[in-house]
Amino acid sequence: MFHYLRISLNRLFDWLWQMGINWLNATPNEQDFSTIYNFEALERDVRPADVILFAGQTRVSRVIQSVALSPWTHAAIYIGRLNDIRDPEIKARLATFYQGDPLEPLVVESLLGRGTIVTPLRTYQREHLRVCRPTGLTWRDADSVAHMAIKHLGMGYDVRQLLDLARFMFPYAILPRRWRSSLFQHNAGEPTHIVCSSMIARCFQSVHYPILPSIEGKQHERQFYERNFRLFTPADFDYSPYFDVIKYPAWTANCEPVYRTLPWSEASSVQTQPKPRLDTPVTQAWEQAAQRVQQRAYLYWERLAFPTIRLHKNSMKDI
């Protein structure tokens, strides 16, 4: 009897848990951001190991925005296309999680309720996106970062880590931030659950690429220390000086200027005529005075600049 009661309670808990996840992942007021940036340009220019930030619109995204004090609530890493992967083992692993078009650009991400999955980049065409590109990362290390992300596929989403990270970042806490926190536990072996930003941080730490490292020592004796990958948030890739922020606006200077597309008419509708001349005694007197001043100024300038010419003219008259 207790066995059936336990099964019923577990099913009830799973149902409530799934209902809560669905409520958090729901989007009350979805907005279309595809009109403010050029998604086709982003899709053509994106490279493997580029970090793509999302300004989410779900309820859980709003909670993350309030805690992290940043509009960026989610992060994914671009891995390229299935046909572009040369490593047969990595390609076979990716094919087990993705059976779509082999020419489709793909990203790896960790989502609440779904774990670490692979998703076509075009799925987020209507979202507010930003590309953070690691500066100076070699192509070989970029492939290693992308392969590391593919190895994370199938991992569950670490809800406990998300809650502990929120408690750690919140300015006021009833309990000590480190007390019974999963962020500072040392677990042997590979993690089985992870969140989006931590997964991406582990990928870059695998090739020792800095994100926001701890730096100690003087200028010639500096030492770089890797941060705990569980403490990273999506906004850290935006703050990092080692990542270039790349934007793709809908209108750029390379496009046809807007003023050239205006519907100008060949025949002007406004007739322009020269202004009539006002011949009055006052204006005539002013013009005569101006002419006399101009003549005197010219004679004065001629005496100063060309005295020899004046003497030559006078001598010619005497002859």
Q: For residue 103, what is the domain's CATH number? A: 3.90.1720.10
- Please give the tally of structural domains in the chain: 2
Residue 63 to residue 56: CA distance in whole angstroms: 10
Per-residue pLDDT of the chain (319 residues; tens, 9 = 90+): 666 677 776 777 666 666 666 666 666 676 777 778 889 999 999 999 999 998 876 666 676 666 667 788 889 999 999 999 999 999 999 999 999 999 999 999 988 778 899 999 999 998 889 999 999 999 999 999 999 999 999 888 766 655 665 655 555 445 554 444 444 444 444 555 677 888 999 999 999 999 999 888 887 788 888 888 888 888 899 999 999 999 888 776 556 666 777 777 776 665 555 555 556 666 677 777 777 877 777 676 666 655 555 545 454 444 4
Rounded to the nearest 5 degrees, what angle is found at the Cα of 192, between the Cα atoms of 190 and 195?
A: 105
Residue 36 CA neighbour count, 13 Å, CB half: 9
Q: Verify that 26 and 83 share a domain, yes or no.
A: yes
Q: Verify that 65 and 148 share a domain, yes or no.
A: yes
Closest CA to 83 of 108, 103, 107, 106: 103
Say if 275 falls within a structural domain: no
Say if 254 falls within a structural domain: no
Residue numbers of the domain that contains 312? 283-318
Say if 256 falls within a structural domain: no
Q: Verify that 305 and 169 share a domain, yes or no.
A: no
Q: Is 208 left (phi over 0), alpha (psi -120 to 50) or beta?
A: left
Q: Tokens standing for 105?
A: 């650009």
